[in-house]
Structure 1
Amino acid sequence: MHSTAKHQISIRSIRLSHWPQWIGYAAAVWSLLYGLLGVYWTLGGEGFPFGHGHDPNPEYSALGYVRIETAAPVIAIMGLLGAVVCLMMTLTRRRHAGSLRLALSAYAWLLAILLLLVVPDYRTLGSVAYVFVLKFSIINWSILNQFLCIIGGFLWVLTAIAYQRRVHFACENCGRTEKGVAGWTEPAAAAKWGRWVTLIAVFIPMVYTITRIAWAFDIPLLVSSEFLHSMNDEFPGIWWFGAALGLIEIGGSVLTYGLIRPWGEVFPRWTLGLSGKKVPPALAIIPASIMSVLTIEAGLMIWRGFLSGAFDPGNIGTFAPSLLWPLWGLALGAATLAYYYRRRGRCMHCGQGE
């Protein structure tokens, strides 16, 4: 029985390690299904998730003013065309002509950016934080659709990466070529620059947390006393709830710090049953990658509000800490990349690496 379970785990690992071979098909299926949703909405179907009259809070979204009459057909065309593009990128086993290669890559990255950084907004990060405090009431179809688009965005990113490696005759799994790897991707180099970006990703959330904890103790840090008290009168306990969310960010900072600490690579003694075992890289890379994207999305929404004058300049504490979130997300993404370069080791497919 033990041998069978171990064999199943081994098969699963092999399948995951062959992701370049199937990721394009997964992205094609996603694009086809979302394109068909666009067709459904174009024909008058219900459930369109964007804009006034459809999204419960369109003011949060960069797509808050789109109309179903124009947006739904665009979604249908881009989704169905995307499925074709995915198949072209995946089925090729030779080098495309320069113009076609550029067009396919550009379309892939365009959709990835739209799905990861334009469609989603602050509510994705807020939903994750609220789930941690067991508050599910804010989640609706518009927010679920944003998570669906984030999944599609990651599928497109991986499809684009696999395609670019393939047409440049690099290992599809690790990106290495016969010439070796760039110096900055080597483990020793990644450890150096990774330390700095990781520390940035650790300390930026502290700014938000400090303000929320201060407000919970009735200290008007970067806001007026009138604002602090009026909000607490209208929503009793709101600042303690904000402090709880801030503490969740502290927990995230601790986990981020683990990207450059030994316990981020080997389970420490207090992890009963796991002590001394290596931390699977994916256990850190996947959630950190997702959080980096969610943080950038949220920060971009705050910047849109700031540039449009939507915030009260007399209470800068309500928005100023969040203006740092795009930098936080970028730093976390870079820290995750450095962690990957340090942990990837020898490639089981091309044999390169340490």
Structure 2
Amino acid sequence: MNTTKATVEGGVKGNRAMANTMKTQGEERAVTGPAPVRRWWSGWPDWAGYLAAVWSLLYGAAGVYWALGGDGYPFAQADPEHSSGSLLEPSRAAVVAPVIAVVGLVGAAVGLMMARRRVSTGFHRLVWAFGWTQAVVLTLILPDYTLLALVIFAPLFVVFAFTGVPGQQDGLGDILFWHRNNLIILFVGGVLWAAATLVHQRRARGLCVRCGRGGRAAAWTSPESAARWGRRAVLIAVLSSVPYEVTRLAWYFGYPLGITDAFLKDMQDTPGMLEIGLGLGVASAAGALLTHGLVHRWGEVWPRWVWFKAGRPVALATAIVPALLVSLVLIPGGVMMVRGGNQPEGWGTNYPAMPWILWGIALAAATLAYYLRRRGACRYCARG
């Protein structure tokens, strides 16, 4: 009798435990929802550190090669037609190449430690300082306007491949040469270091590596707050582009605004030169118009004039990736113009493009505000 009673009581307790377990699992499913669909790029937090390490190792090895007298040092003195506006050009390989080698090899070790999460707590801040310095220098300081030109002229390069490049250039090889291509490589390395450092910071602080949430959210990250300062950022970005647009349009219509008459005549005598300037001004104005989408309804839902997607939600990446890319390439272009200063042809050559620095920063801020407003719940940690 006692045995039967114990058996019954044990069964009841087991059923209750099972019910509680099912209830808990049901609550978890209600919170987390269905498992997110994983695509190849969704694993970027896992391989960002490894890619940064590999990039640093390869570029550091190139530094060793150049330090030993190898050909192809990308910051050497070059003729004006095949030079870049990088901060390191011109410089001697005997001086700079050993630094490249040391920083590259140290970066390979640091990137590997980040990826394998083997950084002592006391060294976290030192590692983060190294990573963010790499990211800023490689992405924003060392490049010139090459990346901006690539973004703007990408469609035209296809045309130039068949029609030739306007002016004195013999072909695309006179536009995309090694000194400039090297700056693209540096930019990619900077992006990898930014991703690797961001992921490591989030992991060390116990945050979601994809959305950054997990701790106490700052007030400025709320959708309401982001909407307010995002509108200000858009206004600053739009106004920063006006000087460049005005001067280039004036030149096309024959007004030497900020330049000498001789320089305007030289551009008029070069087939296609003023048309390219006009295209740049129009592209700048179009970019300013699209920037408004970061704070307006048509930036979240496709408008009617985009008939094949009208009424559908705009994917976050569709707006964020181009805007963030443009913001990043604007800043080094502006830095290059500041370093160039006043030119013999007049203030209109460089000064209207100096606000590109402010434009890039404001556009990045507006893009961040757009993301904070629209991100919703994280598909991986279910926060938000």
Contact kept in structure 1, 2:83 and 2:179, CA below 8 Å: no
The residue that corresponds to 1:35 in the other structure is 60
Whole-angstrom CA distance in 2 between matches of 1:268 and 1:231? 39
Displacement of 1:190: 0.7
State which of 12, 20, 24 in structure 1 corresponds to 2:45: 20
User: How many Å apart are 1:297 and its aligned residue?
Assistant: 0.2
Render the CA deviation track for 1:40-95: whole Å, top value 9, x for unaligned: 323333322112049954462211132112222221221121111012122227x8
Residues 301 and 314 in structure 2, CA contact (< 8 A), matched pair in contact too: yes
- Counterpart AA for 2:214: T
Distance 1:337 1:189 in 2: 12
TM-aligned CA deviation for residue 158 of structure 1: 1.2
What is the aligned counterpart of 2:303 among 268, 277, 282?
268
Q: Is the 8 A contact 1:302 1:322 kept in 2?
A: yes
Name the structure 1 match of 2:138. 115
Work out which of the residue numbers 29, 38, 62 in structure 2 matches 1:11.
38
Say which is worse superposed, 34-43 or 315-324, in terms of deviation. 34-43
**Equivalent residues of 2:330, 2:360 under 8 A apart:** yes
- Work out the CA distance in 1 between the residues paired with 2:79 and 2:53: 27
State the superposition RMSD in angstroms: 2.2
- When normalised by structure 1's length, the TM-score is 0.87
CA contact (8 A) 1:127 1:138 kept: no
1:174 aligns with 2:211: yes
What's the offset of the Cα at 1:320? 1.8
Deviation of residue 133 (structure 1)? 3.0
Give the conservation status (yes or no) of the 8 Å contact 1:213–1:240: no
Mapped to 2, the partners of 1:175 and 1:127 lie a distance apart of: 31
Task: Identify if the C-alpha distance between structure 1 residues 342 and 300 changes in structure 2 by more than 3 Å, giving closer, same or farther.
Answer: same
Which residue matches 2:198? 161
Report the CA distance between 1:29 and its aligned residue.
1.7
1:217 CA drift (Å)? 0.9
Do the aligned partners of residues 121 and 344 (structure 1) sit closer, same or farther apart at CA in structure 2, a change above 3 Å counting?
Answer: same
Matched, 1:311 2:343: yes
Does the 8 A contact of 1:292 with 1:329 survive in 2?
yes
| Structure 1 residues 183 and 48, CA gap change in structure 2 (3 angstroms) | same
Q: Is 2:353 the counterpart of 1:322? A: yes
Give the equivalent residue in structure 1 for 2:329.
Answer: 294
| Corresponding letter in the other structure for 2:310 | S
Matched, 1:209 2:234: no
Given that 2:343 and 2:350 are in contact with CA atoms closer than 8 Å, whether structure 1 keeps it comes out as yes
- The runs of at least 4 aligned residues of structure 1 exceeding 6 Å deviation read none
The letter of the residue matching 1:199 is L
Q: Does 1:285 align with 2:342?
A: no
Q: Which residue of 2 aligns with 1:186?
A: 222
Superimposed CA distance per residue, residues 123-181 of structure 1 (whole angstroms, 9 cap, x where no aligned partner): 222333333433444111221211111111111111111111111122221111243x1
Q: In 1, are the aligned partners of 2:249 and 2:277 still within 8 Å (CA)? A: yes
- Aligned: 1:241 with 2:276: yes
> What amino acid sits opposite 1:225 in the alignment?
D
Compute the TM-score of the two structures, normalised by the length of structure 2: 0.81
Bigger shift: residues 223-232 or 149-158:
223-232
Match of 1:74 in 2: 99
The alignment of Structure 1 onto Structure 2 pairs a total of residues equal to 335
Aligned pair partner of 1:47 in 69, 72, 80: 72
User: Rg bigger for which structure?
Assistant: 2
Task: Give the conservation status (yes or no) of the 8 Å contact 1:18–1:173.
Answer: no
- Deviation by residue 1:209-258 (Cα, 9 ceiling, x = unmatched): 1111111111222334344224434x344223211111111222222221
Partners of 1:52 and 1:297 in 2: how far apart?
Answer: 20
Q: CA 1:59 to 1:282, structure 2 compared with 1: closer, same or farther past 3 Å?
A: closer
AA of the residue aligned to 1:34: Y
Distance 2:215 2:262 in 1: 65
- Determine helix, strand or coil for the equivalent of 1:171: coil
Asked if the contact 1:205–1:328 (Cα under 8 Å) also holds between the matched residues in 2, the reply is yes
**Shift of residue 292, structure 1, vs aligned partner:** 1.1
Identity %: 44
Structure 1 window deviating more from structure 2 (206-215 vs 272-281): it is 272-281
Amino acid at match of 2:201: Q
Gaps of 5+ in 2: 1-35, 161-171
2:114 aligned to which of 70, 73, 89: 89
Separation of aligned partners in 1, 2:79 and 2:262? 35
Alignment partners' CA distance in 1, 2:45 and 2:371: 17
Q: Is 1:27–1:83's contact at 8 Å kept on the other side of the alignment? A: yes
How far apart in 1 are the matches of 2:212 and 2:272?
A: 51
* Distance (whole Å) between structure 2 residues aligned to residue 129 and residue 38 of structure 1: 31
1:277 aligned counterpart, secondary structure = coil
1:104 aligns with 2:151: no
In 1, the alpha carbon distance for the partners of 2:108 and 2:78 equals 29
